Amino acid sequence: TVGAGLPTMITLRRILDSGDEIKKVEGQLSGTLGYILSALQKGDKFSDVVVDAKAKGFTEPDPRDDLSGVDVARKALIISRCMGQSFNLSDIEIEALYPPEFEDISLDEFMSKLPELDEIVDDKVKSAKGKDKFLRYTATVKPEGIRAGLVEVEKASPLASLEGTDNLISFETKWYTSPTVVRGPGAGVEVTAAGVLSDCMDLYGSKVRTQWGNL
């Protein structure tokens, strides 16, 4: 799914089926990164937040699977492909929340070196606050390309109001110049299972409609 239990793909398909033209899709698509960024906004240290999120089961067993941004990029690619684009994962600009030299070290060493990143991340949070903005990790899909990374958002942005593991995705189209926004829980067994079931039923319904259309 894209966004756990959020009706992301159904909303996207209905917009496209209506003949509308999508200009931009943007959202926070990782409950884990949402939890981390909202805690950082409150002044918590990056290393402490990652350890806490791991302890609570919000991250993958290796937090790098979340902090790399690749999971968000894959979700953005699903959206892109459903829009008819032909980008590959290698075409996406992805910003990791740790330096390249942290990639190949052991998990234990990675966790022990997390405090080295506290000041770097804190500077980014303070930079956003100094502009009266919020720091968020988002995916952005446009006709010209895809990006997954940190962005500074205005206080009036729906992204700024996110708390904890909530996800949000917005669709800016030719007709909806004021974006259509879908928001809800971004993590949890029940909501994710509901999202998977919903997507499966939607796919089944599409197959049935196609078969009837060919009769």
Known catalytic residues are 75
Give the separation between CA 155 and CA 133, rounded to whole angstroms: 6
Closest residue by Cα to residue 166 from 150, 183, 153, 149 = 183
Instruction: Decide: 12 and 79 in contact? Cβ < 8 Å.
Output: yes
Instruction: Decide: 157 and 9 in contact? Cβ < 8 Å.
Output: no
Q: Two tokens at 202?
A: 């939607």
Give the rounded distance of the alpha carbon of 8 from its chain centre. Answer: 12
In Å, what is the CA distance from 59 to each residue of 35, 181, 188? 10, 25, 12
